[in-house]
Amino acid sequence: MTGLSEREFNPLKVLHHIDRLRALADGEDVAPVTVEIDPVAYCNHACGWCVDPVHEPVQMTPEMYECLISELSGFDVNGFRVEGVVFKGGGEPTLHPQFGAMLERAAAAGFAIGVVTNGSRLMDWADVLAAHAAYVRVSIDGPTAESHERVHRSNDFAAILAGTQQLVENRRRTRSPVVGLSFAMDIQTVELGEEAIRLGERLGVDYILLRPPFFEEVGRVPTMTVAEARHVRSRLQEVAARYEGPIEVQIGNWVGDAESSGRRDARVARSLPIEHRTGRCLASPLLAVITAAGVVYGCCNLRALGGWSFGRLNYAAGQNLAALWRGEQRREILERMHRTECIAHCTHPLSRYNEMIEVLKDRERPHSQFV
Ligand SMILES: C[S@@+](CC[C@H](N)C(=O)[O-])C[C@H]1O[C@@H](n2cnc3c(N)ncnc32)[C@H](O)[C@@H]1O
């Protein structure tokens, strides 16, 4: 298998974590596969529909980061360990003045690294990213200077393209990092889907991701009606289906509720996300989020939302991740998450994992005798 869709983006890659899913199905705890670490809590762009609920002038201190990476590299819960670190949230991760050193440190500790960025500082970090990241996704959202400015309220489109080009050049045709462009498109930009693909081709990236943005789940005012959102998704799907060129074109598979059938992964079609059907989310220990201030959350959708944290890291006072992971506060919040009390914020990032856990939980294994 050689293509991105058969390898890096293959949803069946979860099979590599079948033991962890089985442990969760058996009610045991695990270490997260992936830890999202927010280097900063601020951004130099101002997207109206941003998924990050708060921006504040906070950055992770080098001391906290060092303690955290050291701890993560030995973090073990029932024999399960952390494998990947993602820098994507809280704001714009590449704005941290030590972003390059943070990347190098995580790589030296043996973690696979993913980065999601608005691209504004790519020129500064292209070398270190090419050397250490497994993937870099650049959130462009508008494929022209005008459309980019409308969404990001910044005018650094040319610098972002130059930085992306530099990154692509730096990796010298190796497969890593996989570089992609993502486009959250609404009714005003939907007709630029083909332009987005052309931009991806021009920059030589591996893939582009087209998707309508979320609104209600991330606490933002919609920029389009539900009917328009449906139109956007189907237009994006048409554009992707027509395309026969060299790069991978994906349509976002996050699931929102307002648009009951349209804003869905085409493969899940009209069925409701599993968390709605079962009223259960058992997969969340697969992921942990740590904000720039060191506050720990159990899901990317709950990042920085009051009342959902597992507590705050304080290494000087002996409050490390292990203490929070075992702590009473996490136990209580996890129970609420298990009962999907957080469903109003959910973009269903763990649906597939939850579905597998539900299957593994079914001791009767109905019809498993037939292939
Ligand atoms: C919030 S940003 C944070 C990282 C970085 N500042 C960036 O721009 O990529 C993470 C990703 O979420 C996407 N995003 C932001 N708001 C969104 C929304 N309402 N719906 C869907 N995706 C959204 C962005 O396009 C970006 O790809």
Residue 304 Cβ contacting ligand 1 at under 6 Å: no
Q: How would residue 253 be classed by pLDDT, with cut points 50, 70 and 90?
A: low
Give, using CA atoms, the residue closest to atom 5 of ligand 1: 117
Superfamily in which the 11-361 domain is placed by CATH: Aldolase class I (3.20.20.70)
Instruction: Give 38-52 pLDDT, tens digit per residue.
Output: 999 999 999 999 998
In this prediction, residue 272 carries a pLDDT of 78
CA 13 to chain centre: 16
Q: How would residue 153 be classed by pLDDT, with cut points 50, 70 and 90?
A: very high
Q: How would residue 349 be classed by pLDDT, with cut points 50, 70 and 90?
A: confident
pLDDT (mean) for 151-167: 97
In this prediction, residue 269 carries a pLDDT of 47
Q: Is the dihedral of CA 144, 146, 147, 149 positive or negative?
A: positive
More confident residue, 339 or 9: 339
Q: Which residues contact 56 (CB under 8 A, 6 or more apart)?
A: 41, 42
Give, using CA atoms, the residue closest to atom 27 of ligand 1: 139
Q: What is the share, in percent, of the chain residues with pLDDT greater than 90?
A: 79
pLDDT (mean) for 230-248: 93
356 φ, ψ (degrees, to nearest 5): -65, -40
In this model, does residue 3 exceed pLDDT 80? yes
**Average confidence score pLDDT of the chain:** 93
In this prediction, residue 256 carries a pLDDT of 66
Residue among 40, 52, 88, 148 to mutate when testing ligand 1 (max atoms within 8 A of CB): 88
Nearest residue to 284 via CA among 349, 329, 347: 349
Q: How would residue 173 be classed by pLDDT, with cut points 50, 70 and 90?
A: low
Give, using CA atoms, the residue closest to atom 15 of ligand 1: 50
Q: How would residue 89 be classed by pLDDT, with cut points 50, 70 and 90?
A: confident
pLDDT (mean) for 353-360: 96
In this prediction, residue 21 carries a pLDDT of 98
For residues 101 and 361, give the distance between their C-alpha atoms in angstroms, rounded to a whole number.
42
Give, using CA atoms, the residue closest to atom 21 of ligand 1: 213
Q: How many angstroms does the Cα of residue 63 sit away from the middle of ligand 1?
A: 28
Closest atom of ligand 1 to CA, residue 50? 16
More confident residue, 131 or 227: 131
Residue among 50, 154, 220, 251 to mutate when testing ligand 1 (max atoms within 8 A of CB): 50
Place of tokens 């990154």: 167
Q: Which residues contact 242 (CB under 8 A, 6 or more apart)?
A: none
Residue 186 Cβ contacting ligand 1 at under 6 Å: no
In this model, does residue 271 exceed pLDDT 70? no
Closest atom of ligand 1 to CA, residue 88? 4
- 8 Å CB contact between 137 and 113: no
Residue 51 Cβ contacting ligand 1 at under 6 Å: yes
Closest atom of ligand 1 to CA, residue 49? 19
For the question of whether the overall pTM of this predicted structure is more than 0.75, the answer is yes
Place of tokens 């993560």: 72
- 8 Å CB contact between 173 and 204: no
Residue 182 Cβ contacting ligand 1 at under 6 Å: yes
Within the chain, strands assigned E span 34-37, 76-77, 80-81, 84-87, 112-117, 135-139, 178-184, 207-211, 248-251, 287-290, 295-297, 311-312
Q: How many angstroms does the Cα of residue 367 sit away from the middle of ligand 1?
A: 41
Residue 214 Cβ contacting ligand 1 at under 6 Å: yes
Domain locations in the chain as residue ranges:
11-361
In this prediction, residue 353 carries a pLDDT of 95
Give, using CA atoms, the residue closest to atom 24 of ligand 1: 139
In this prediction, residue 263 carries a pLDDT of 40
In this prediction, residue 53 carries a pLDDT of 78
Q: How would residue 1 be classed by pLDDT, with cut points 50, 70 and 90?
A: low
Beta bridge partners of 80: 77
